[in-house]
Structure 1
Amino acid sequence: MNHDDTRQGYDTVAESYAARFRDELAAKPLDCALLASIIEQTAPDAPVADLGCGPGHIAAWLSEKGLKSVGIDLSAAMVSTGRREHPNVEFREGDLLELPAADGEFGSAIAFYSIIHLAPSELPRAFAEVRRTLRPEGLFLVAFHVGTHVRHLDEWWGHKVNIDFQFFEPAHIADLLEAAGFKVEMRMDRVHHPDEVETRRAYLLARRRA
């Protein structure tokens, strides 16, 4: 995957993305329930990381529920939009392959549809980085599109982009998480909502081994 193309693409659509997804959790009770399970199992003094946070609407939701949240995104424009719209959230610009965070900084982490911009060969490094930044027994909730193919966009909401979306099989992601030092505790998949792109979506909840 070309990270520069991904960064530039999200920089281009940042404002449109924020407008379209600002209130998406209101129509996604299942996502909210999974995020609530993260809240219940994260120590009050431990920040939660939203990896590939986009404009920060999920990080803001977590913050509103009482957790300190840190949004990390590759796109400078997404980070700028997030800081403007959600001043209660800390934002950092950074890559999943080299997270701008200290060892053991986070009590938990989520990555909703951000690993889809990594090549399969990059996943072990990304998961090792997530493990590094989590406290022992910290939780990691990851969501992605199910499949083995790559979907390409050269136009997105009227903007020219050059972005690839890599789909993954849940069993493969689970194996990689286990190899990276996690214990997978939950696997789930669902169909798309009526207003979503027509894909199957998978969720895995994994716990960092001590």
Structure 2
Amino acid sequence: MSELAFLAAVRTSYDTVADTFAPRYGPDQIDPLGRAMLAGFAEMVRGSGGGPVADLGCGPGRVTGWLAELGLDVFGVDLSPRMVELARAAHPELRFEVGSMTALDLPDGQLAGALAFFSTYHTPPEYLPTVFGEFSRTLAPGGRLLLGTYVGDDEQLRPTHAYGGHPVSYESHLVPAERVATLLADAGLVVTARLLIEDSAAIRPQLLALAEKPGRP
């Protein structure tokens, strides 16, 4: 079965920008509200008994490493082999794998937590149910999801260069926050908190959503 075209574009683009991207993306570059949501997510997962947590679209692994410092049993998955290479070099004590959120190589109901922190907005809207379905499938009952994404009024962006002028071929898809919440619910996840950041200093509006898979033991 041939790979979806958007996945190939994302992989190639992030392989190209990885070395420039890595120093620019980590806890120090996340705004205080984002860091607070990440810390709250970590506390809730620990408070529920802990267990494996997947950082999905982990990039160079800097947030993955921070979550490990916060006490989570975390590993990373990213579509870009170069990003995974950088993450392994930076955090040899953690596990990082190449993989796609459209078909995670993880068993059903394994995860105590899943993080998708600004890693889904390159996904065309018609594939979001597949991605969110994978989040739901791999979470254990009572497992937590923290999703961070850019939102907009059905905007489609096609940049040609990024992160220091490197050529990219991915697209960004900005769907309304309410639709993201609806799609999470359709995937069987209960949204328990939503934070919409519309700060004029931000590049574009951001949604941070906490969700839980029903059926806590």
TM-score bucket of the superposed structures, by smaller chain: over 0.9
**Per-residue deviation, residues 27-77 of structure 1 (Å, max 9, x unmatched):** 522112111111112145401111111111111100011111111111000
Distance (Å, rounded) in 2 between the aligned partners of 1:72 and 1:95: 8
Indicate the residue corresponding to 2:206 in structure 1: 201
CA distance change for structure 1 residues 36 and 23 in 2, over 3 Å: closer, same or farther?
A: closer
Indicate the residue corresponding to 2:187 in structure 1: 180
TM-score by structure 2 length?
Answer: 0.90
Residue identity matched to 1:86: H
Shift of 1:153: 1.4
Indicate the residue corresponding to 2:158 in structure 1: 152
Indicate the residue corresponding to 2:125 in structure 1: 120
CA distance change for structure 1 residues 79 and 139 in 2, over 3 Å: closer, same or farther?
A: same
Shift of 1:146: 1.4
Q: Quote the RMSD (CA, aligned, Å).
A: 1.6
Distance (Å, rounded) in 1 between the aligned partners of 2:138 and 2:174: 25
Question: Equivalent residues in 2 for 1:46-85 (5 A)?
Answer: 46-85=51-90
Shift of 1:2: 1.4
**3-state SS of 1:81 partner:** helix
Select between 85-94 and 35-44 the one with higher mean Cα deviation: 35-44
8 Å contact from structure 2 (residues 27, 63) kept in 1: no
Residue identity matched to 1:171: E
* Number of positions where the alignment pairs a residue of Structure 1 with one of Structure 2: 207
Runs of 4+ in 1 over 4 A off after TM superposition: none
Shift of 1:193: 7.7
Q: Which runs of 5+ in 1 are unaligned?
A: none
Indicate the residue corresponding to 1:24 in structure 2: 28
Residue identity matched to 1:153: P
Distance (Å, rounded) in 1 between the aligned partners of 2:37 and 2:6: 31
Shift of 1:171: 0.6
Distance (Å, rounded) in 2 between the aligned partners of 1:123 and 1:209: 20
Structure 2 residue 18 is matched with structure 1 residue 11: no
Shift of 1:88: 2.7
Picking from 121, 126, 131, the partner of 2:136 is: 131
Q: Which runs of 5+ in 2 are unaligned?
A: none
TM-score by structure 1 length?
Answer: 0.93
Question: Equivalent residues in 2 for 1:82-93 (5 A)?
Answer: 82-93=87-98
**Per-residue deviation, residues 115-164 of structure 1 (Å, max 9, x unmatched):** 10111111111111111111101111111111111111111122111111
